[in-house]
């Protein structure tokens, strides 16, 4: 696609429920990233995919968070047993990395998650 | 390890006056540096990037930034602010060229008529 697409754009869920957030990167972008933007916290790195593998998942805040990427394309971020502190905007970005060169990130518009 | 410090959480200017948003970084390697802008309820948009070419980088909407290695700074400037520039601006560093970005806390730019 022309840009990074994220769905849903807004999600309200009850505490304790599981949620899935989806990211469709730009076609051909090999790298995919998840970030979280919380009020007063800035942007936090969550996880990085190169192809279908995740060489850096150091930012996942707890074992309730997991992510996968299939076919080198779509990624899903899953939050189990959501808590109120999980409320944030979850941003996905993709980038084209070729022969060690970095061409910059393109961000999606994010999914605003509200846990009530 | 890499880090970035945006020195002002808020900057207020009048329309037509210059804009200066300050950013200092630390990096173990030759860094790549970026400025992103986020308008209310919108996604992050890349303004400009420095990746070891010219130290003065020109971006979109009349913004530019100068990479100063001796000062470890990458300040964002614009000669004349416009009302549409009101947004939050993030300075970002990547010292591995292709992996994790580290974001500053952001600077909110307020533009008054």
Q: Say if B5 is an interface residue toward chain A (CB within 8 Å).
A: no
Question: What pLDDT does A58 receive?
Answer: 83
List the single best residue of B6, B30, B44, B57 to mutate versus A (max A Cβ within 10 A).
B44
At which residue do the structure tokens 């996880």 appear?
A47
Nearest to A97 among B34, B98, B104 (CB): B98
CA distance B14 to B80: 9
Radius of gyration, alpha carbons of chain A: 14
Q: Give the number of beta-carbon pairs within 8 Å between A and B.
A: 48
CA distance B106 to A40: 10
Confidence of residue B53 (pLDDT cuts 50, 70, 90): confident
Q: Please give the DSSP secondary-structure letter assigned to residue A2.
A: -
Segments of chain A scoring below 70 in pLDDT: 1, 40, 97-103
List the single best residue of B98, B103, B104 to mutate versus A (max A Cβ within 10 A).
B98
Record: contact A104-B34, CB cut-off 8 A: yes
pLDDT, average across residues B34-38? 92
Question: What pLDDT does A82 receive?
Answer: 98
Question: What pLDDT does A30 receive?
Answer: 86
A53-57, A111-115, B47-51, B101-105: least confidently modelled range: A53-57
Question: What pLDDT does A97 receive?
Answer: 67
């Amino acid at each position: 696609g022309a840009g990074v697409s994220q769905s849903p754009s807004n999600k309200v869920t009850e505490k304790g429920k599981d949620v899935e957030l989806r990211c469709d990167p730009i076609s051909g972008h090999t790298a995919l990233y998840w970030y979280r933007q919380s009020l007063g916290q800035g942007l936090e790195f969550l996880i990085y995919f190169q192809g279908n593998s995740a060489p850096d998942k150091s930012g996942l805040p707890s074992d309730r968070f997991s992510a996968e990427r299939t076919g080198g394309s779509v990624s899903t971020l899953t939050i189990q047993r959501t808590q109120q502190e999980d409320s944030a905007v979850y941003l996905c970005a993709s980038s084209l990395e070729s022969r060690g060169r970095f061409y910059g990130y393109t961000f999606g518009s994010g999914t605003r998650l509200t846990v009530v | 390890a890499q880090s970035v410090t945006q020195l002002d959480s808020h900057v207020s200017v009048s329309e037509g006056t210059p804009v200066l948003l300050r950013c200092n970084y630390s990096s173990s390697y030759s860094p790549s540096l970026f400025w992103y802008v986020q308008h209310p309820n919108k996604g992050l948009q890349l303004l400009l990037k420095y990746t070891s070419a010219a130290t003065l980088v020109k971006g979109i909407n009349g913004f530019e930034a100068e990479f100063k290695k001796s000062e470890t700074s990458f300040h964002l400037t614009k000669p004349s602010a416009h009302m549409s520039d009101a947004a939050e601006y993030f300075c970002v560093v990547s010292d591995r060229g292709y992996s994790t970005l580290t974001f500053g806390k952001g600077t909110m730019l307020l533009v008054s008529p």
